[in-house]
Amino acid sequence: MKDANLIGLNLTVLPCGALLMMANNSTRNYLATMGDDTDFNQAMYDLLEPFSTNGGFTLFDAGAGNPFVGLTSAPCIAESMGYLDDGAMEVNGRLWWFEPYQVRSYVQELRIKGRVIFDAACELATV
């Protein structure tokens, strides 16, 4: 997807600390054209790129040996993420995860309902 900025995705931290992701109809239609979970993952990285390239709300794969989330493969979003000189990842600020990832797809939920909530995991400094 070349024009991620034209797609409507809104991220809001709720008073309870959870992260609400809302999609407009254009984004929902775009997600409806994706075929499988592999396509969904790339679509979500594309949709979140305008946020992550500006230093916030970075989607990452917890199953890639990531030390921030322990023993889970849940989709995660970091408030701010960077890389140290040695290449290690660094999460600063809040971290959210989609806990029911084993039984529900957050992308399908976003496509069908137009919204999905990621639960607050914890506050992190450099790990």
Task: Give the pLDDT score at 122.
Answer: 62
Is 22 within 8 Å of 115 (Cβ atoms)? Answer: yes
Task: Give the pLDDT score at 70.
Answer: 65
What mean pLDDT do residues 80-100 have?
82
Query: How far, in Å, CA of 44 to CA of 9, rounded?
Result: 10
- Token readout for 12 is 């809001």
Is 56 within 8 Å of 81 (Cβ atoms)? Answer: no
What mean pLDDT do residues 98-124 have?
86
Is 4 within 8 Å of 49 (Cβ atoms)? Answer: yes
Query: How far, in Å, CA of 107 to CA of 66, rounded?
Result: 21
